[in-house]
Structure 1
Amino acid sequence: MEWLAGRIMLLSGARRALVAFVAGLIAVLALPPFGIFAAPFLSFPILVWLIDGASGNPDHGLLRRRFPAFFIGWCFGFGYFLGGLWWLGNALLVEADEFAWALPLAVIGVPAFLALFYAFAAAVARILWSDGMGRIAALAFAFGLFEWLRSFILTGFPWNAIGYAAMPVPLMMQSAAVIGLAGVNMLAVFVFAAPALIGTRKGLRAGLSLAVLLVAAHFGYGFYRLEQPLPQPADPAVTVRLVQPLIDQSKKIDDSERMAIFEEHLQLTQALPADGGKRPDIVVWPETSVPFILTENPDALLRISDVLQDGQILIAGAVRAEDTGAGQPPRYYNSIYVIDDRGQIVGASDKVHLVPFGEYLPLEGLLKAAGLNAIAAAMPGGFSSAVTRSLLTLPGGKTLYPLICYEAIFPGEIGNDALAANALLNLTNDAWFGNTPGPYQHFQQARLRSVETGLPLIRDANTGISAIVNGRGEVVTGFPFGTRGFVDTILPGKVALPMSPGEQERNGMLLACFLFSLALFSRASFILREN
């Protein structure tokens, strides 16, 4: 290991950049659909050794001296995000005539931009760098800091945060209930990078001991939490039907297919339960499953009332139009409707966090003038975002916390008010991305929101992955990707949380302070030894 570490430290030029890029690619193997937990234990030691050798000219200023580390972090991040997000280009091929020109921007441009967060993380870590365990703590702190910044800068895109690599299965997800994703991000980097100490020996015993202790706590707490008895479903028990219609995205944007798509959903809604039992209390359709403006189609609401039995409720994704008056065009919202057995809309919630360039255009006036349009916007001008999130209260009193599409990847989207809900509700349409890693990554991240809140998750997707997940992140029932049909199950009860989401965030910040202090202490000790 010492020989390997020395060789990597001394790499230069293109070989150095290539090794960093490949190390980032290898780390992607820890993410769905692969879930190879060991992959980052190879990637992050390589990154540490590369930063060890990234010492700038001492005659240069502080910023220029950190550029070698910045560049290595960027190459690592570019490999990680290119390998983890290449499937974004699939959405542009749905309407290739209009959007194929933007393929390089999605496949290469987005990873290149996101890699800047890891570049700054490496540069900041290098400022705190020492010759022992402190540099591992510095890297963990810096990655945790910039993963947190990635969750909200320019509306945020925390997709594939590094902590998810440490949480491939429910046993390994439970730590998020105590320290949140931000805390897991930092500790995961510390553990993944700790084997680098074998190659340099300094701080080996303390660093590996702490890493082993963290891994033991991670698994031990997961085992403890999964061994606790699950709560009983709320009384009376509520049966939920997930409808996964498997509609190809090219058909969803074809006006001539609208009625056929609508009838497809209705057919799966009125089908008899597979076990011959009672019909479900709640039927759930995916995001934008209603292919027209419901409030402008009373016949469609009538058809829904014909299909629903007494007391049944339909929850469906739809586009909602809002009249702005005075001859202005209406606003359109990506919404969820609650419809009762009489065909009445009795509840609605609009999407708050829209996808830039997908559902709306940033700098719309400028980009519209250049002939650009939002990719997934169903209406001219794209969607508008809701000011606040409206919880869905169903007839009978049950409350759902709605998350539309990629809103489920943002831990910060879920406040403590969610604890009053009976379940999380995530409607999505991952047909845009085909059978690529995207839908599998999306599902894993949505599951983590259940662990963080203790709430069961009702997740319905057009092509998959649809599932009912309990408050510990375990799949109760569902569909794999690319399966058409429906499934009925009883909605699980809420799981007691050791910490509220707010406390989890505070614990994550405390970990950041600890790692920063450890890095500073090690850096100070290193300077004193040098002098």
Structure 2
Amino acid sequence: MERLAGRVFLLWSWPRRLAACAAGAITVLALPPFDFPAAGFFSFPILVWLLDGTPAAGAAWRRFLPAFSAGWWFGFGYFLAGMWWVGAPFLRDLGLAWALPLAVLGLPACLALFYGLATLIARLLWSDGIGRIAALAFGFGIAEWLRGALPWGLAWNAIGLAAMPVPLLMQGAHVLGVAGMSAAAIFVYSTPALLATRLHARAGLTLAAILIAAQLGYGYAHLSMNPETDRVLRVRLVQPVPEAGGDFDETLKTYLELTASPVADGQASPELILWPELSVPFVLAERPDLLDAIVRGLRDDELLIAGTVRQESGPEAGMRRLYNAVVAISKTDGIIDGADKVNIALFVDHLPFEGIFPGAGPDSPLTKTSYSPGSARRLLSVSENIGALPLIGTEAAIPGIAEPHAQRVDLILNPANYSAFAGLPVSYQHLRQAQLRAVEAGLPLLLAMPHGPTAVIDARGRVIDALAASRRGIIDVAVPLTENGMLPGGSSTLRGLVFSAMLGMVALFLIIRVGIPESRD
């Protein structure tokens, strides 16, 4: 361990950057669909040793630029290996080949700035022994909090997901949120680096063991507390698996056939039916024939929530704004309610800087369906006494997004659509993040995707029922509507920020007491 730490410590120039990039890429093995959490114990000690090798004296840029660089290259490797699938639709459409490098390399390069900031913050508080571990955990906690606070869908694959592969390990997000769990995960993952110097090694490993025990203990206790309830909602989720480039009339026929499928013997018909995001990729006001066909396929006591497109006129003549939306449709009244997607995602809902790129005009196959963000988040009424929070598509990847509304609704609806990325890891990564939104808010969540996996998730993040990816079918489930289990004293995101700040205070105390470590100039 000492020899390995010494070799990493002495790396410089491109070997140093490649080591940081490789360490970030290794961390992706802890994410879906691989789910190998131990990968963090290999990658984060390397990052600690790389930061140990940064200069401790000289001009500010000489001390802090190498630290920022180490974090940036780590983040670039992490996001490139975890989000390479963003380029799939650009590769399949030769008309958009110009945007492939922008998506595959540009997006990870931008997201890596947050991890560069994380290591820069850590380097400001760097000291010997356990202090630097606490500083690194604090830096990443702040970085993940910032990612979740921005409105443009940049919170995908938070580093804390690496330590939460199953519901037992997810329950801590109910207390600390993703930012706090990320900080705790970085602290635990980084402790093997202490074995190289044996300074504070025993204390660090003990604290790591306590954090792991607390995560397991709270997870077990929280999963055991399932309050009984008589309130249930009968739901049906539809997964049509449409053919790529197929005729929409055939796709709609599949939706309607699955929607009208008879229920199993002894079961009552569903009260709520959920279709995926953009299941009807048209402005329904312009296609009354589609609305009529959908209404005819519903029973009298059913409410359909379907993803569609909403249009508004722009400020200039001939201009229009399109919104990624959901609408509530009943048999008797047609469209009775709706909501827009508020947090649009770059390269999924919107191409950034579209006006300056060649071929990105209004006739581009990508930008002609570029969506505007909704002005406000709307709640939907499922029945007289049941309310729902719609999170459309990638909104379910934003930490803490459901918590401000959790006291006013009974469940979360998450229609999503990754048809352009079918067969790639993105849908499994989305499912994991949807589970965490259910845990944070203490609410059940319904996830519907055209190619799957479609799932019904309870308020503890457990998958009650699911359809495997690329399997056409429906899910009929009676979802228990328990009182949500949010803790008092603010959101989990705020508690996670406080926890990260506590780690930062520990690092600051140790740097004052121990001093800044000597390092290679």
Within the alignment, does 1:344 sit opposite 2:334 as a pair? Answer: yes
The amino acid across from 1:505 in the alignment is T
Alignment of 1:332-481 (within 5 A): 332-342=322-332, 344-363=334-353, 365-366=355-356, 371=361, 379=369, 382-481=370-469
Change (3 A) 1:491 1:501: farther
1:63 is displaced (CA, Å) by 2.4
Selected match of 1:75 from 62, 73, 87: 73
1:502 aligns with: 490
How many residue pairs align between the two structures? Answer: 518
- Structure 2 partner of 1:301: 291
Residue identity in the other structure for 1:92: F
Over residues 158-217 of structure 1, what are the superposed CA-to-partner deviations in whole Å (9 max), with x where a residue is unaligned? 111111111110000000111111111111111111111111111112211111111100
Q: Which residue of 1 aligns with 2:128?
A: 131
The aligned counterpart of 2:87 is 89
Contact 1:281 1:313 survives alignment (8 Å): yes
| Shift in Å, 1:18 | 2.2
Cα distance in structure 2, aligned partners of 1:20 and 1:529: 21
C-alpha deviation, 1:523, in angstroms:
0.8
The one-letter amino acid paired with 1:358 is V
Question: Which stretch of the first structure deviates more once superposed, 502-511 or 184-193?
Answer: 502-511
The one-letter amino acid paired with 2:71 is: G
- Distance in 1 (CA, whole Å) between partners of 2:320 and 2:499 is 47
In structure 2, distance between residues paired with 1:29 and 1:260: 38
**Deviation of 1:124 (Å):** 2.1
State the Cα distance separating 1:284 from its structure 2 match: 1.1
For residue 408 of structure 1, give the secondary structure of its aligned residue in structure 2: helix
CA distances 1:40-68 after superposition (whole Å, capped 9, x unpaired): 01111111111111226x3x311222222
**Given the alignment, which residue of 218, 223, 241 partners 1:246?**
241
Partner of 1:10: 10
Q: Deviations over 1:316-341 (max 9, x none)?
A: 10112235698544432211111111
Task: Using the TM superposition, give the Cα deviation of residue 233 of structure 1 relative to its aligned residue in structure 2, in angstroms.
Answer: 4.9
Which residue is equivalent to 1:254? none
CA deviations over 1:287-343 (Å, ceiling 9, x no partner) = 111143222333322222322112111111011223569854443221111111126
Cα RMSD after superposing both structures: 2.3
TM-score using structure 2 length: 0.93
The letter of the residue matching 2:61 is L
Q: Structure 1 residue 270: deviation in Å?
A: 0.7
**Contact 2:362 2:368 survives alignment (8 Å):** no
Q: Name 2:302's counterpart in structure 1.
A: 312
TM-aligned CA distance change 1:80 to 1:495, over 3 Å? farther
* Amino acid aligned to 1:86: W
CA contact (8 A) 1:302 1:343 kept: no
Secondary structure, counterpart of 1:78 in structure 2: helix
Q: Residues of 1 paired with 2:151 and 2:257: CA distance?
A: 42
Instruction: Tell me if the contact between 1:30 and 1:40 (Cα under 8 Å) persists in the aligned partners.
Output: yes
Structure 2 residue matching 1:420: 3-state secondary structure? coil
Structure 2 CA distance for aligned equivalents of residues 15 and 278 of structure 1: 63
Given that 1:320 and 1:335 are in contact with CA atoms closer than 8 Å, whether structure 2 keeps it comes out as yes
Aligned to 1:140: 137
Conservation of the 8 A alpha-carbon contact between 2:28 and 2:82: yes
What is the CA–CA distance in structure 1 between the aligned matches of 2:258 and 2:327, rounded to whole Å? 18
Does 1:482 find its partner at 2:460? no
Q: Partner letter of residue 484 of structure 1?
A: R
| Alpha-carbon distance, 1:383 to partner | 2.1
Q: Distance in 1 between matches of 2:397 and 2:274?
A: 20
Q: Matches of 1:450 and 1:464 in 2, distance apart?
A: 18
Secondary structure of 1:316's aligned partner: strand
In 1: Cα distance, 2:464 partner to 2:504 partner: 40
Q: Which residue of 2 aligns with 1:158?
A: 155
SS at match of 2:134: helix
Q: Structure 1 residues 376, 494: closer, same or farther in 2, change over 3 A?
A: farther
- Structure 2 unmatched runs, 5+: none
Distance in 2 (alpha carbons) for counterparts of 1:356 and 1:418: 27
- Contact conserved, 1:416 with 1:502, CA < 8 A, in 2? no
**1:361–1:374 Cα contact (<8 Å) kept:** no
TM-score (structure 1 length as normaliser): 0.92
Q: What is the SS of the residue equivalent to 2:304?
A: strand
Q: Which moved more, 1:10-19 or 1:509-518?
A: 10-19
**Contact 1:231–1:495 under 8 Å retained in 2:** no
CA distance in 1, matches of 2:443, 2:223: 15
Answer whether contact 1:45 1:193 (CA < 8 A) is retained: yes
Matched, 1:516 2:513: no
**Could you tell me how far 1:36 is from its partner in structure 2?**
0.6
Query: Could you list the per-position Cα deviations for residues 61-113 of structure 1 after superposition, in whole angstroms to 9, with x for gaps in the alignment?
Result: 1122222222222221121111101111112234x122122112211221122
CA distance 1:371–1:299, change in 2 (3 Å): closer
Secondary structure (helix, strand or coil) at the match of 1:413 reads coil
User: Hey, what's the Cα distance between the residues in 1 that align with 2:380 and 2:84?
Assistant: 35
Structure 1: state its 5+ residue gaps.
252-256
CA 1:219–1:299 in 2, change beyond 3 Å: closer, same or farther?
A: same
| Higher RCO (C-alpha under 8 Å, 6+ residues apart) | 2
1-structure distance, mates of 2:409, 2:512: 49
Contact 1:423 1:494 in 2 (8 A): no
Matches within 5 A, 1:275-294: 275=265, 277-294=267-284
1:50 pairs with 2:38? no
Structure 2 SS opposite 1:486: strand
Taking the aligned partners of 1:357 and 1:528, their CA distance within structure 2 comes to 42
Deviation at 1:477, TM superposition (A): 0.6
Q: Alignment partner of 1:443: what SS?
A: helix
What residue is the counterpart of 1:228 in the other structure?
Answer: 225
Q: Which amino acid aligns with 1:258?
A: F
Instruction: Specify whether residues 507 and 292 from structure 1 end up closer, same or farther in structure 2 by C-alpha distance, changes over 3 A only.
Output: closer
Distance 1:141 1:373, change over 3 A: farther
CA shift at 1:506, angstroms? 2.6
Percent same amino acid at aligned positions?
A: 44
Q: In terms of mean alpha carbon deviation, does 328-337 or 402-411 score higher?
A: 328-337
- Aligned residue number for residue 165 of structure 2: 168
2:22 corresponds to which letter in structure 1?
Answer: V
- Structure 1: how far apart are the matches of 2:306 and 2:446? 12
**Given the superposition, is the C-alpha separation of residues 101 and 376 from structure 1 closer, same or farther in structure 2, using an over 3 Å criterion?**
closer
Q: Mark the CA change 1:367 to 1:151 in structure 2 (over 3 Å): closer, same or farther.
A: farther
In structure 1, how many angstroms separate the alpha carbons of the residues matched to 2:409 and 2:151? 29
